[in-house]
Amino acid sequence: MEDDALAEDLRRAIGELVRAVRTVDTMPPGEAAVLGHLDRSGPQTTAELAHRRGVTHQSAAKSVKELIAGGSVRAEPHADDGRKLLLHLTDTGRTRLQQERTRRATWLNTAIREALDGDERGQLRDCVPLLDRVTARINGA
């Protein structure tokens, strides 16, 4: 039962943290997610992006359409299947994504410095590898 309470407390705290950090975002979450996936995993089709994000093809396609129109993503015919388009992150998209990540990190860093003392920041730093391991386990790594 104690582990169940830990899991629920962690789920709630991380969920609230993610929602709080997203308040400084300047782009829609779907677009930020697409840019992030393309940055981490390289070129993909809209169907692959939808699958990885756990959204419908139509939802991913809407985000992709906006990103292409804004010059953050470019599409080219897929080498193995000419009916598909392979999506690439452009320099504009990479810059936009980096600005978004920097904005989030700066905002979060300020909150950490204001809310925690040096020892607490050290404790939080020690938790990051543990959270990474839990995330890797959830993702099947």
- Please write the tens of the pLDDT for every residue from 21-60: 989 999 999 999 999 999 999 999 999 999 999 999 999 9
pLDDT tens digits along 81-127:
878 899 999 999 999 999 999 999 999 999 999 999 999 999 999 99
> What confidence score (pLDDT) does residue 116 get?
97
> What confidence score (pLDDT) does residue 81 get?
83
φ, ψ (nearest 5 deg) of residue 28? -60, 145
Instruction: Identify the three-state secondary structure at position 136.
Output: helix
Query: Which residue type does 40 have?
Result: R
> What confidence score (pLDDT) does residue 139 get?
84
Cβ 50 vs Cβ 59: under 8 Å: yes
95 vs 6: CA distance, rounded Å: 38
19 vs 82: CA distance, rounded Å: 39
Whether residue 1 has pLDDT greater than 60 = no
